[in-house]
Amino acid sequence: MELEFDRETMICYETAAEVTLCQEETLESIVPDACPDILRIVDVCGQAVLTGKQAKDGTALVSGIVKAAILYQPEEGAGLRRMEVGLPFTCQAEAPGFAAEGTVFASPRLRSAEARALNPRKVLLRVDLAVDITAYQPTRHALCRGVLECEGAGVCQRQFRGETYQIATVQEKPFTFQEQVRLPSGPGDTPRVMALWAQPMCTESKLIGSKMIFKGAVELHMLLQEVDGTLTSGHESLTFSQVMEVSGVGEDGDCQVGVELTDLTWEADLADGGSLNVELDLLAQAGIRCRRPVTLLQDLYSTVYEMKTDSEVQPLWKLGEQSVRPQAVRELLETGELVRGVIDSRLTLGQVTQSREGERLVLTAEAWVTVLYLDENSQVRCARRTISVSRPLDSPEGYRCSCACRCPGEVFAAPAAGGVEVRFTLEFHCLTVCRTQAASVREARLGGPRSKGAGPSPSVVLRLAAPGEGIWELAKAYGTTTQQILQANELEEETIPEGKMLLIPSTR
């Protein structure tokens, strides 16, 4: 007799790789003819831009470009000069099981950038990059939920009813917006933009029907040179709001949205010399997780026929914690000289590492801090330092943590004894999940009539349950039902009292 099964296919995404790649790139570049000779390089301001991603069998590829502005003091003349350099980069992450239909999310960051003058007309640019890469592979799980009606077969089945917390969908949306930014200056004193870089960030997301609404801001940082050669800094916050089509999720899903810069251009407004026209190309990368109910057929047997079953293990995921952990930082950047004033301060983030201390994870982020300041001779100098910032997180063994780090506010810097004191706050965005598993029947076939053995069989058996043996195991072994055993022993639930002898009736 054939059995009919209630089957379901669950479509989700699994993480084939989640890594941060750190690499160094260098490039020699000639000073353009329109620029004067170099006397001393002061600073390098840069922006890592994502230009491409590709999914290949077993590999996730990412490409981008570092747009750098090299600021230097010329051999002749006052003030600073700027030189633009573009340095392309590529990287790849190994992702076992990853295929071409997968999706790659990437977030490149410029940890630091330095330049050295090889001669007055040639520079060597060195950049240190960190690239977060996550490879998502679409997966189909064939689930057997139970046996459909099968009259006369005496089929008994045991089901698992629970839930799994999984990545229901990953979506992307490129978008562009333009803004006019007013430069911080007085009438007739339009400063020159020496460097401009942007930091996009999603601050809010919400699911409504089949759409996700997400909002955020692009923090625009500017380094300016006034007409008298003085350096100042400026800041603008450019807000955005977008709608992204999503599928296969409900409104109670948890959204994780990252926004990456894919291009940044700017030029002076011809009608208003005190303003900039800024155009930003951005890419939103969204992963949506949700809880899904799961019903699995864990075991079955027949009281009438012999039965052979094939089983498998189904992976399930359990949510541990989803939180934002802020960590305030206050450090001294030693300069070895008197600091008359701070011109600008900026921060970039490197790799986030994890180490375990018993039931806790310690998350450690690299904060790369750069400060431009005036020394005691009023010369522009640059100080850099890498600061390790740690934050503990309660996380039992077996839980895996995905962590993204952000600096949501400004970096405050002020002269102090021995150097420059910097203060900032980092946010650790944490998500912990635990992989569990549940046994599931894949196939089952009915055989011949269940053997009763030689001679008459007893109508009831009296016995003590062995360790690990429950009502279900006893019923299956003796070809009866759990309900008959419960009734015969006047039990209301399947928990066997310790030491109790059980009456096991046979099915006639």
| pLDDT score recorded for residue 376 | 92
Dist CA 155 CA 146 (whole Å): 11
Residue 152 confidence (pLDDT): 77
Distances, alpha carbon 5 to alpha carbons 16, 35, 316, in Å:
31, 77, 21
Q: What is the DSSP string of 338-359?
A: -EEEEEEEEEEEEEEEEEEETT
Q: How far apart are CA 17 and CA 56, in angstroms?
A: 13
Q: If we measure between CA atoms, which residue out of 313, 416, 405, 318 comes closest to residue 368? A: 405
At 284 the pLDDT is: 97
Instruction: Give the pLDDT of residue 79.
Output: 83
- Residue range 458-508 forms a domain whose CATH class is alpha beta
* Residue 41 contacts residue 117 (beta carbons within 8 Å): yes
- DSSP letter for 205, please: E
**CB 42 within 8 Å of CB 74:** no
483 SS3 class: helix
The answer to whether the beta carbons of residues 357 and 322 sit under 8 Å apart is no
- Considering only CA atoms, which of 26, 12, 254, 225 is closest in space to residue 123? 26
pLDDT confidence of residue 293: 94
Identify any residues that bridge with 155 across adjacent strands, giving them in sequence order.
Answer: 302
The CA-based angle 76-79-83, given to 5 degrees, is 85
Q: Where in the chain is the domain with CATH 3.10.350.10?
A: 458-508
Mean pLDDT by 10 residues, the chain (508 residues): 88 94 96 93 94 96 97 88 96 94 96 94 96 96 89 88 94 94 74 93 92 95 90 93 88 92 89 86 96 94 91 94 94 93 93 91 95 93 94 92 92 94 96 94 90 66 87 91 91 86 80
* pLDDT for the residue numbered 2: 75
Report the 10 Å Cβ neighbour count for 102: 22
How much is the pLDDT for 506? 75
Which of 224, 272, 205 is closest to 82 using CA atoms? 224
Q: What is the pLDDT of residue 239?
A: 95
Cα–Cα dist 110/89, whole Å: 11
What is the distance in angstroms between the CA of the first residue and the CA of the last residue of the chain? 20
C-beta of residue 479 within 8 angstroms of C-beta of residue 453: no
pLDDT at 347: 94
How many C-beta neighbours within 10 Å does residue 285 have? 23
CB neighbours of 219 closer than 8 A, spacing ≥ 6?
A: 198, 199, 200, 201, 235, 236, 237, 238
Beta strands 122-147 and 103-119, pairing class:
antiparallel
